[in-house]
Amino acid sequence: MPRRTSTVIRTATRADLAAMRAIVDAQVGHGYLDAEVDALYKDSEGFALVAVVDGSVAGVCMCSIMKPGAMARIFRSGLPDVLRSRKVGLLDTLAVRPDLTGRGLGTALLEEARGRFRSDKVRVWATPAWRSRLGTTVESLLTRAGMEPFAEVPDFWREASLAEGFICPVCGAPPCECSAVMYAGPT
């Protein structure tokens, strides 16, 4: 008989930070999470979720609620009309432990984030999806969630990788030369 697993999606706590950091370092880049956590705790409208499988943190989703001006600075490209909403949900980081991908954890984290945005009366959400020379990591997940690409920004993480010293898992030591494909859609 196959072993049953227990999966819970919940709000992240400070006690989860080491596990969150290990997941994000492996999937997004070493050192990337540090700046995100600092920003999250300064942002009263930010939240972080974790997927917990059999008592261990297995996935991370970090989000915030933003106004269009802040979105324009993040996306560095012309905003589509859908992102000119009064409040926009930003899905900043989504990562799952490499050994647990393909089990629906990313989808579960996205759906919980979507529910939180909706409860805060956020009708639109967006995300910069990492695109390396190996491809876009979450393209199918985002399109299944109803998001559509609207722009690509070359060298999106270059400045941040140099300033914050994070190490891209594809490019290696800074600078990161990966682009970001910008996705948006209704919550």
**pLDDT tens digits for the chain (187 residues)?**
456 678 999 999 989 988 998 898 877 666 556 655 555 555 567 899 999 999 999 999 999 888 766 666 666 556 666 666 678 899 988 999 999 999 999 999 999 999 999 999 998 898 988 888 887 778 899 999 999 998 888 988 788 888 877 777 788 888 988 888 889 999 9
Strand-pair category, 124-132 with 88-96: parallel
pLDDT of residue 1: 47
Q: Which two tokens stand for residue 77?
A: 């490209």
29 within a domain of the structure (yes/no): yes
Domain with residue 14: its CATH number is 3.40.630.30
Range of the domain at 70: 7-186
What is the end-to-end Cα distance of the chain in Å, rounded?
A: 39
Report yes or no: 150 and 87 within 8 Å, Cβ to Cβ: no
The total number of structural domains that make up the chain = 1
Its pTM stands at 0.82
Q: Which two tokens stand for residue 122?
A: 């956020």
pLDDT of residue 82: 64
Task: Using the CB atoms, write b or e for 9-29: b if 16+ within 10 Å.
Answer: beebeeebeebbbebbbebbb
106 within a domain of the structure (yes/no): yes
Report yes or no: 93 and 56 within 8 Å, Cβ to Cβ: no
Report yes or no: 20 and 60 within 8 Å, Cβ to Cβ: yes
From the list 14, 33, 24, the residue with the least C-alpha distance to 59 is 24
2 within a domain of the structure (yes/no): no
Report yes or no: 93 and 35 within 8 Å, Cβ to Cβ: no
C-alpha to C-alpha distances, 17 to 62, 87, 139, nearest whole angstrom = 12, 27, 26
1 within a domain of the structure (yes/no): no
